[in-house]
Amino acid sequence: MINNTLIWTSIISAFFTVLALDFLRLFKFISWSPIGWSKKWQLLASAHFSIKWALLFVALTLIFALLYIVVSYTTSIPPSVTSILIGIVVVFAIEWTIATPKTPLSTIKSISLPFFAIMAIVLRFITGTAVFMKKLSEESMK
């Protein structure tokens, strides 16, 4: 199951996500810092920012690789539907944990649409590639 497509898809997705998160933070499209986890968890709080971004990149690469494997089993569902549903859940969960709002409605109001768009693009890339490669391997077995 682990092949070059999975590895490269995960790496490219993580690289794009890290760059996009930095862009969103730089232009204040998101009110939180993507590397703010280091202060909150007291993990590497005094480390250089490049180390924090590198760890974020590694974590995203691993998460996207796992997501690729899981989503490859959803070949009967269109990748667009899968990616939007996963995107809604992921963005809602991230905004909920970072902002800690009192109600789910206030979380929905605080969601950054550019952040949701970036996540939808990344998740569509991952799901589309995973489903295509799974269907391709199933057809080659026939």
d(CA 98, CA 44): 18
Burial class of residue 14 (count of CB atoms within 10 Å of its CB; 0-12, 13-18, 19+): buried
pLDDT digits (tens, 9 = 90+) for 98-132: 877 778 788 788 889 999 999 999 999 999 999 99
Kindly report whether the global pTM for this prediction surpasses the value 0.85.
yes
User: Hey, what amino acid is at 67?
Assistant: L
pLDDT tens sequence across 35-79: 887 777 776 777 888 988 999 999 999 999 999 999 999 999 999
The domain in which residue 9 lies consists of 4-141
Number of domain units in the chain: 1
Each residue of 20-31: pLDDT tens digit? 999 999 999 998
Q: Quick one: pLDDT at residue 1?
A: 62
